[in-house]
């Protein structure tokens, strides 16, 4: 059974409040399948809030949302219900962010999946607006990431930062080759797709970690080849 079919089966249990449903799950000792379901519903809710962060929901943002989640056409109605409930829910985005954070440990790599997905939605109209960037920065802080961590994460999406391979690895340009290797090995270990699946991230979302790993590999290659000098 796919995560989207499970969401369709769960919609009736959500009722009128996504945050109340997530609170119920996070208070229980969630198993990986339950974490996977809560993770996805929570990310849909944050995606809905993210799409409104700059004051308008564009067609490109809605399309980007569907791309991030790779939702089959037959399952879109259930996802749309969660999306719309989150938009109408009086709970703020910070409530959803805190509930997702409680499912995993602070700064967990799977929480970067959430931020990467939200960045993808934010830049769908070819620009990450100041309100959206502040939204993402706030969610990042709730997830336990430092300002340096957020700079590293945003470097994968903000055009001005994409040319800095050191920033992608979270390093200072003065880092030694050994420090570069250590950072690279740690990031590769943290972003291995198998670890994300084991943590409760649905298979459909693992592509975010895979894409992130590709950027990490590219940045490491540039530094070690001397192209970043």
What separation in angstroms does the CA of 110 have from each of 34, 91, 179, 194? 15, 23, 24, 11
Torsion of CA 45, 92, 115, 130, to 10 degrees: 120
User: Does position 52 have pLDDT exceeding 60, yes or no?
Assistant: yes
**What integer best gives the mean pLDDT of the chain?**
79
Average pLDDT over residues 117-126: 79
Q: Are the C-beta atoms of residues 218 and 188 closer than 8 Å to each other? A: no
Q: Rounded CA gap, 93 and 212, in Å?
A: 24
Q: Predicted confidence band at 142 (pLDDT cuts at 50, 70, 90)?
A: very high
What separation in angstroms does the CA of 126 have from each of 14, 58, 61, 121, 167? 34, 11, 10, 10, 21
What global pTM score does this model have?
0.75
More confident residue, 221 or 209: 221
Query: Which of 5-14, 19-28, 57-66 shows the lowest per-residue confidence on average (mean pLDDT)?
Result: 57-66
More confident residue, 111 or 209: 111
Domains contained in the chain, number: 1
Of 219, 217, 196, 221, the residue nearest 207 (C-alpha): 196
Residue 106 belongs to domain spanning: 3-225
């Amino acid at each position: 059974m796919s995560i989207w079919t499970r969401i369709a089966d769960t919609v009736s249990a959500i009722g009128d409040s996504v945050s109340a449903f997530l609170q119920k799950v996070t208070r229980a000792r969630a198993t990986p399948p339950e974490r996977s379901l809560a993770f996805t519903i929570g990310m849909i809710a944050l995606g809905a809030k993210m799409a409104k962060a700059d004051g308008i929901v564009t067609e490109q943002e809605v399309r980007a949302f569907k791309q991030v989640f790779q939702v089959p056409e037959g399952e879109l109605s259930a996802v749309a219900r969660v999306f719309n409930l989150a938009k109408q829910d009086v709970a703020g985005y910070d409530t959803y962010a805190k509930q997702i954070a409680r499912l995993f440990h602070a700064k967990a790599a799977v929480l970067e999946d959430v931020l990467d997905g939200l960045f993808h939605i934010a830049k769908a109209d070819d620009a990450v607006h100041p309100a959206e960037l502040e939204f993402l920065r706030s969610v990042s802080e709730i997830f336990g990431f430092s300002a340096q961590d957020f700079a590293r994460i945003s470097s994968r999406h903000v055009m001005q930062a994409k040319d800095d391979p050191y920033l992608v690895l979270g390093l200072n340009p003065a880092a030694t080759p050994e420090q570069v290797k250590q950072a690279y090995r740690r990031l590769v270990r943290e972003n291995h797709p198998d670890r994300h699946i084991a943590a409760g991230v649905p298979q459909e979302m693992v592509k975010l970690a895979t894409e992130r790993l590709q950027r990490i590999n590219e940045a490491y290659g540039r530094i070690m080849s001397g192209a970043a000098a």
